[in-house]
A and B are shown apart, each in its own frame.
Chain A
């Protein structure tokens, strides 16, 4: 089955700096790659996703890149703010298949 590895497990940045979280996946059939943000005590919620026919997607300060050949995808957050502090999960899934999550990255943005 699919295996998703996520790095780093913790990340601390100064407010205004950029943050990058990376994930690798093993199943070449995976074609949908969402990213979720989980604030303390809350449920995970989608912040951005990318499909395998696209190499990059941006939404304001958040971007995701996908390298299908290398089987890795990354989340980029620019101009970080304290409210970006949360746990971030990547996931991968094939069409007609279940999602597999990474272990999460705890991002701390220091004011």
Chain B
């Protein structure tokens, strides 16, 4: 199993450009998450999904969009990049059902700089 795979690892965007951060998991997890982590700070939840076709906003959704067409994929879209979106982005997945939960597995992160 590859776990959670994020691409790209690094990206520099110009203000106003758009991009999609890709995230794929092969563990058949139902929950998937996108976090951003600013330097020296904690994890801020952007969006999450409880299963294919279902997404919901987290704490800091403005400026981002997501979709979940399959169990495996959860891309994050930045439409009009702004310097405030400079951050490290982590995708994560976990399994959460009434019988119990698993840990969250994180991707290796995407370091995004908007100039």
- The answer to whether B108 touches A43, judged by C-beta atoms less than 8 angstroms apart, is yes
- The answer to whether A99 touches B98, judged by C-beta atoms less than 8 angstroms apart, is no
Contacting A95 at CB < 8 Å: which of B33, B41, B100?
Answer: B100
Q: B23-51: contact bitstring with A at CB < 8 Å (1 yes, 0 no)?
A: 00000000101000000111101001010
Of B12-20, B75-83, B89-97, the stretch lying at the interface with chain A is B89-97
Question: How many residues in B have their beta carbons less than 8 Å from beta carbons of A?
Answer: 23
Given contacts A93-B101, A104-B43, contact A98 B96 (CB under 8 A): yes
Taking the complex as formed, is B74 at the interface, i.e. its CB lies under 8 A from any CB of chain A? no
Size category of the binding interface on chain A: 20 to 34
Q: Shortest 4 CB-CB distances between A and B: which pairs?
A: A103-B42, A32-B101, A43-B106, A46-B103
**Chain B residues in 8 Å Cβ range of A106:** 40
**Chain A residues in 8 Å Cβ range of B48:** 98
Return the chain A residue nearest B35 by Cβ.
Answer: A101
- Please give the residue numbers on chain B whose beta carbons come within 8 Å of chain A beta carbons, in ascending order: 31, 33, 40-43, 45, 48, 50, 90, 94, 96-101, 103-104, 106-109
Return the chain B residue nearest A103 by Cβ.
Answer: B42
- The answer to whether A95 touches B90, judged by C-beta atoms less than 8 angstroms apart, is no
> How far apart are the CA atoms of A94 and B42 in the complex, in Å?
21
> How far apart are the CA atoms of A19 and B33 in the complex, in Å?
30
- The answer to whether B104 touches A99, judged by C-beta atoms less than 8 angstroms apart, is yes
Contacting B98 at CB < 8 Å: which of A46, A96, A102?
Answer: A96
Taking the complex as formed, is A91 at the interface, i.e. its CB lies under 8 A from any CB of chain B? yes
Contacting A44 at CB < 8 Å: which of B94, B96, B99, B106?
Answer: B106
Taking the complex as formed, is A111 at the interface, i.e. its CB lies under 8 A from any CB of chain B? no
**Chain A residues in 8 Å Cβ range of B108:** 43
Additional 18 contacts, C-beta under 8 A, given A43-B90, A101-B43: A34-B104, A36-B104, A49-B103, A89-B42, A91-B104, A93-B94, A93-B96, A95-B98, A95-B99, A95-B100, A95-B101, A96-B96, A98-B96, A99-B94, A99-B104, A103-B42, A104-B41, A106-B40
User: Which residues of chain A (66-111) have a CB below 8 Å from chain B?
Assistant: 89, 91, 93-99, 101-104, 106
- The answer to whether B96 touches A95, judged by C-beta atoms less than 8 angstroms apart, is yes
